[in-house]
Amino acid sequence: MSTPDISRTTVPLDSPVRRRLPPLLRRAWYGLNQAFRRRIAHTGVTPDQFTALRTLREGDPEGMTQRALTEAMSSDPNTVASLLERMEEAGWIERRPHEKDRRAYRIRLLAPGVERFHEVRELAVGLQSDVLAVLPESDRERFLQQLEEVAAACRQAADDSVRPPR
């Protein structure tokens, strides 16, 4: 069953055919994450671990603080702490005391982590190419720019929102 073209009509807010940002983003993220998880299962790396490896690889060669990594990954501190513990046990990263902040650690990729990153990166790039292939090639970069703008607006909305008192 095809979805009616609602671009030329006014659709009520509660109409089931109306496109809504949250379910579309969730469906896209869930499908992408599941596809990636399946493609990399044989490597022993999880999607979250790959994101951490990529973020560390693209960051300061001296390493990042756990807080900076958490923010760059758009994750929560407890998830990242657990993730880093497993990655440290695997020998992919090292955590050493930060030179200026006694409460912080500097996280740095080790050679085995770099190797894992390169092993999985090709699979990630292939998946991105496969997914973006549904768009005309001339539209892909603009789509990614717009998605980045939407992500930034979502982050800003979260930052601007006041948490209710407990």
pLDDT tens across 29-41, in order?
A: 999 999 999 999 9
Burial class (CB in 10 A: 0-12, 13-18, 19+), 81: exposed
59-125 CATH: 1.10.10.10
Residue (of 14, 21, 11, 1) closest to 154 by Cα position: 21
Question: Residues 78-92: what's their mean pLDDT?
Answer: 94
Question: Residues 15-39: what's their mean pLDDT?
Answer: 89
Residue (of 114, 109, 141) closest to 128 by Cα position: 141
Q: Is residue 78 predicted with pLDDT exceeding 80?
A: yes
Phi, psi of 38 (to 5 degrees): -70, -40
The two structure tokens encoding residue 8: 């030329």
Q: Give the tens place of pLDDT for each residue, 134-158.
A: 999 999 999 999 999 999 999 899 8
Q: What is the DSSP string of 32-86?
A: HHHHHHHHHGGGT--HHHHHHHHHHHHS-TT-EEHHHHHHHTT--HHHHHHHHHH
Alpha-carbon distance values, 18 to 14, 59, 73, 134, 163 (Å): 7, 40, 31, 21, 29
The C-alpha angle with vertex 72 and arms to 166 and 158, in degrees rounded to 5, equals 35
Residue extents of the structural domains in the chain: 59-125
* Contacts of residue 98, Cβ cutoff 8 Å, sequence gap at least 6: 65, 104, 105, 106
What is the pTM for the complete model shown?
Answer: 0.80
Question: Residues 91-96: what's their mean pLDDT?
Answer: 94
Model confidence at 97, pLDDT cuts 50, 70, 90, reads: confident
